[in-house]
Structure 1
Amino acid sequence: MVYSIAVLRALLVGAAAFATSIAATRNGHRPPTDEDLSILAGQHVIYSYPGLTPPDELFQLVREGRVGGLILFRDNIDQNNTANTAAAMSRMQQANAESPAYNGLPLLVMTDQEGGYVKRITDGGPFQSAKEMGASADPATASAQGGQDGAKALIGAGVNMNLAPVLDVYREDGDLMDQWERSFGNTSALVSKCIAPFIKNMQEKGVLATAKHFPGLGAASADSNTDVEPVVVGTPIHEIRMVDEIPYYAAFEVGLGIVMMSWATYPAMDDLPAGLSSRWTQGELRGRMGFKGMIMTDALEAGAVEPYGNWSTVALLSQKAGVDMVLCSAKNVTQGILATEGIVAGLKNGELSWQVFEASIARIKKVKQSLLVLR
Structure 2
Amino acid sequence: MQHAPLIIDIAGTALSDDDRRRLAHPLVGGLILFTRNWESREQLTKLTAAIKRLRPDLLICVDHEGGCVQRFRTGGFTHLPPMRALGELWMRDAMRAQDAATACGYVLAAELRACGVDLSFTPVLDLDWPIDAAMPARRQSAARTGAGDLGWPGVSRSRVIGDRAFHADPRVVTLLAKSVAHGLLRAGMSSCAKHFPGHGWVVADSHVALPRDTRSLKAILADDGAPYGWLSAALDAVMAAHVVYPKVDARPAGYSARWLQAVLRGRLGFGGAIFTDDLSMEAARHVEGRTVTPVEAVLASLQAGCDLTLLCNQSLGDGGVIDEVIDGLAEAQIKGAWTPSAASDLRRQALLPRQAAPDWAQLMRSPDYLHALALIP
In the superposition, the TM-score normalised over structure 2's length comes to 0.79
Q: Cα distance 1:126–1:107, how it changes in 2: closer, same or farther (>3 A)? A: farther
Q: Distance in 2 between matches of 1:183 and 1:243?
A: 14
Q: Distance in 1 between matches of 2:206 and 2:349?
A: 29
Letter in 2 for 1:269: V
Give the match for residue 253 of structure 2. Answer: 274
Give the match for residue 139 of structure 2. Answer: none
Give the match for residue 128 of structure 1. Answer: 81
Q: CA deviation at 1:66?
A: 4.4
Cα shift readout 1:15-70 (whole Å, capped 9, x = no counterpart): xxxxxxxxxxxxxxxxxxxxxxxxx4xx1101112222222211133345442111
Secondary structure of 1:212's aligned partner? strand
Tell me, yes or no, if the aligned pair for 2:274 and 2:307 is still in contact at 8 Å: yes
Give the match for residue 362 of structure 2. Answer: none
Cα shift readout 1:138-164 (whole Å, capped 9, x = no counterpart): 321221111011112212332110011
Of 337, 344, 347, the residue aligned with 2:333 is: 347
Identity among equivalent pairs (%): 26
Q: Distance in 1 between matches of 2:26 and 2:160?
A: 40
Of 219, 237, 240, the residue aligned with 1:239 is: 219
Cα shift readout 1:102-133 (whole Å, capped 9, x = no counterpart): xxxx2111111111111001243462110001
Tell me, yes or no, if the aligned pair for 1:46 and 1:325 is still in contact at 8 Å: yes
Letter in 1 for 2:67: G
Secondary structure of 2:165's aligned partner? coil
Contiguous gaps of at least 5 residues in structure 2 = 131-154, 358-377
CA RMSD for the aligned pairs? Answer: 2.0
Contiguous gaps of at least 5 residues in structure 1 = 1-9, 12-39, 98-105
Higher-helix-fraction structure = 1
In the superposition, the TM-score normalised over structure 1's length comes to 0.80
Q: CA deviation at 1:179?
A: 6.3
Give the match for residue 6 of structure 2. Answer: 45
Cα shift readout 1:218-238 (whole Å, capped 9, x = no counterpart): 2112xx111112111112211
Secondary structure of 2:298's aligned partner? helix
Secondary structure of 1:271's aligned partner? strand
Structural mapping, 1:78-89, within 5 Å: 78=39, 81-89=40-48
Secondary structure of 2:309's aligned partner? strand
Corresponding position: 1:143 with 2:127? no
What is the number of equivalent residue pairs in this alignment?
Answer: 319
Of 168, 173, 184, the residue aligned with 1:191 is: 173
Q: Distance in 1 between matches of 2:191 and 2:266?
A: 22
Q: Cα distance 1:347–1:178, how it changes in 2: closer, same or farther (>3 A)? A: closer
Structural mapping, 1:144-223, within 5 Å: 144-172=102-130, 173-176=155-158, 180-221=162-203
Give the match for residue 60 of structure 1. Answer: 21
Letter in 1 for 2:233: E
Moved over 6 A (4+): none
Q: CA deviation at 1:249?
A: 3.2
Higher RCO (CA-CA < 8 Å; seq separation 6+): 2
Q: Distance in 2 between matches of 1:241 and 1:346?
A: 35
Secondary structure of 1:71's aligned partner? strand
Give the match for residue 310 of structure 1. Answer: 293
Q: Distance in 2 between matches of 1:238 and 1:374?
A: 43
